[in-house]
Amino acid sequence: MRIGFPRALYYFDYFPFWAGFFHSLDIELVISPPTHRKIMDQGLKKASDETCLPLKLLAGHIQALENVDYIFLPRMVSIEADTYTCPKFLGIPESVLPAVPEGQSVLTVTLNWRNSKRQVLKDLEVLTEQLGKSKAEIRQAFNKGMEWQKKYQNTMGAEWDFEDSLNKVESASWDFTESNISNAPLTWKERMISKISLIGDKAEKQPHLAVGEKSDRLRIALVGHSYLTHESYANLNLLRKLHEKVDVELVQNVRQEDIEGHLSGLRKKIFWSHSKQIFGAGNKYAEDQRVDGIIYLTCFGCGTDSIIQELVSRKAREKHKPYMLITLDEHSGEAGLVTRLEAFLDMVERRRVHEGYVSTYGECLDSDSNAL
């Protein structure tokens, strides 16, 4: 059995879980290729005009999957206690069904961590019939998925490399198929485990900046949803462009304890899981003296960011941290992005070297707009 997995949206955070889950069931995962022009165009044709860019890309990736028995479109309701995913995330698979080629079967399952673990397992058991597996195998697969996801998340420290980590998870799955054909000395399970453990090795070897320590290069925090910050085609290679000029901090570099410790100052809890992470990380970066500036990456049509971006920008203003908002859509042009990026980095550099603060007049303006 071959199951198609779109390289979009939930791929960027939860692929290790699903990879571990399906590999434990001896099912091959076929991942759509990295986004390119045709994928984007096809997504635009099939997705609703009102939806956000990541969902349009998901629609394109669904169409890029060929020769698979099912396309996997999970309904991820909640991925941690007390939070939900955003309403557009929740609307999958129905909202992207027009993008599924005619006659192509869809495999879906609900994942809701607001319920008990027992309920999550029960929900996953609906797959037993379609996949021809027993309940015990599904439970075992769930544990494997959790193990891979945990291993992956444990690597998300400073200097963590997303591409590298995900490539290793993906190549583990390809080894699985190959080892069925060849008589490799290691079993496919052993090879997968060794590949996955490599991710951890790499993260441990990366240098960390101690609190209070500053490097000569500028340090810029890129804040936003993982499926925007790491979607290099849609974000016009923003991450690579930044890496060439400055040290980059990402939301994924921030430990969960730090996120939790920077959620204060709101009258109500944020109940969208990604937004909670972005808000906590944004607040932390605004206070962090080692970070010289913040770039918030959002996309046109993102409902949750319309609130969270404003909150993070107020925090940045309050802490006198240079801040820039970049809004992406399918029409974003590279020249405009490069110009804004260069202007922002020049301003941050000048501030760091010559001024120490933006202006005293700015301080005055800030005082009325700090209250959250």
The binder of ligand SF4 chosen from 170, 247, 292, 305 (CB under 6 A): 305
CB of 117 to ligand SF4, least distance (A): 25
CB of 304 to ligand SF4, least distance (A): 4
Question: Which is closer to ligand SF4, CB of 303 or CB of 362?
Answer: 303
Question: Which is closer to ligand SF4, CB of 15 or CB of 188?
Answer: 15
CB of 26 to ligand SF4, least distance (A): 32
**Range 52-81, binding ligand SF4 (CB under 6 A):** 52, 54-55
CB of 272 to ligand SF4, least distance (A): 7
The binder of ligand SF4 chosen from 7, 46, 61, 88 (CB under 6 A): 88
Q: Is 151 in the site for ligand SF4 (CB under 6 A)?
A: no
CA 91 to chain centre: 18
33 residue type, one letter: P
The binder of ligand SF4 chosen from 8, 25, 234, 302 (CB under 6 A): 302
Q: Is 304 in the site for ligand SF4 (CB under 6 A)?
A: yes
Question: Which is closer to ligand SF4, CB of 64 or CB of 228?
Answer: 228
Q: Which stretch binds ligand SF4 (CB under 6 A): 153-161, 178-186, 235-243, 298-306?
A: 298-306
Q: Is 86 in the site for ligand SF4 (CB under 6 A)?
A: yes
Q: Is 83 in the site for ligand SF4 (CB under 6 A)?
A: no
Helix orientation angle between 53-64 and 37-46, rounded to the nearest 10 degrees: 110
Question: Which is closer to ligand SF4, CB of 219 or CB of 225?
Answer: 225
**Range 104-143, binding ligand SF4 (CB under 6 A):** none
Select from 241, 10, 353 the least CA-distant residue to 19.
Answer: 10
Question: Which is closer to ligand SF4, CB of 20 or CB of 54?
Answer: 54
Q: Which stretch binds ligand SF4 (CB under 6 A): 50-58, 244-252, 277-285, 342-350?
A: 50-58
d(CA 222, CA 239): 8
Question: Which is closer to ligand SF4, CB of 132 or CB of 303?
Answer: 303
**Range 332-351, binding ligand SF4 (CB under 6 A):** none
Select from 249, 185, 180 the least CA-distant residue to 221.
Answer: 249
**Range 251-280, binding ligand SF4 (CB under 6 A):** 274
> Interface with ligand SF4 by CB under 6 A: which residues?
52, 54-55, 86, 88-89, 225, 274, 299, 302-305
